[in-house]
Amino acid sequence: MTHVVYFSGVHGSGKTTIRTKVTQRLQKSGMSVYAFPEFSYIPDIPIGTPEFQLWYRTQLRIRQELIQYLINTKYFDIILVDRHPVDEKIYAKRLGGREDVYYYLVPNEIHIYISRKIEDIIESLRKRAELEDQSHRKEWNEDDIEYLTEINEEFDMLYQETRNEHKAMGYKYYISKIINDDLDIAVTDALKTILRSIN
């Protein structure tokens, strides 16, 4: 059986870094792993605009179809995915976009939510800005404290709601909240969550 693991969290929470390190450690253990990044590329469209949301929704839909295809091939033991489709609902609500989400539940889905202190998120975003071309982020104000706090609160509320909904529907749905105060510990906790869920 192929297991699908989604990594979620506010931008700057460390989800991509943790997902990358988890991928490497699972591969070293002998597992066949496929990892989906959040973006295959980033278009020259300001984040937070209706145009960007339309592009992003299209990318999510394509990715969901690819995930289903890989599940059907049964080639990989684990598929690791940067961002869960319901993440879009959180940002859309805050940015005034469409909140309906194209998504169907994957059997035995594993959902890892990365939580982090706001001050650590801001520091991470500033370091990333020094390394990357930030032209597509200029009008977004992604490191605004009020904005980050609201997004964090939305994540906490939505994931509790999502867990309750899936339990009520009788699905096997594994969700774990991991605190990223220390990267190595967070990676280890994520690995433990995955291995515990698939065994």
What is the set of domains in the chain, with CATH numbers? 3-198 (3.40.50.300)
42, 136 contact by CB (below 8 A):
yes
CB burial of 64-79 (b: ≥16 within 10 Å; e: otherwise) equals beebeebbeeeebbbb
Query: Is 6 strand, coil or helix?
Result: strand
26, 33 contact by CB (below 8 A):
yes
Query: Can you give the pTM of this predicted structure?
Result: 0.86
Report the 10 Å Cβ neighbour count for 53.
Answer: 19
One digit per residue, pLDDT tens: the chain, 199 residues?
889 999 999 889 999 999 999 999 999 999 999 999 888 777 888 777 788 888 888 888 888 889 999 999 989 999 999 988 888 878 877 766 666 666 666 777 888 989 898 889 888 888 887 776 655 555 566 778 888 888 888 888 877 776 666 555 445 567 778 888 899 999 999 999 898 888 7
CA distance 174 to 178: 13
**CA torsion sign, 147 to 152 to 155 to 161?**
negative
CA distance 186 to 111: 14
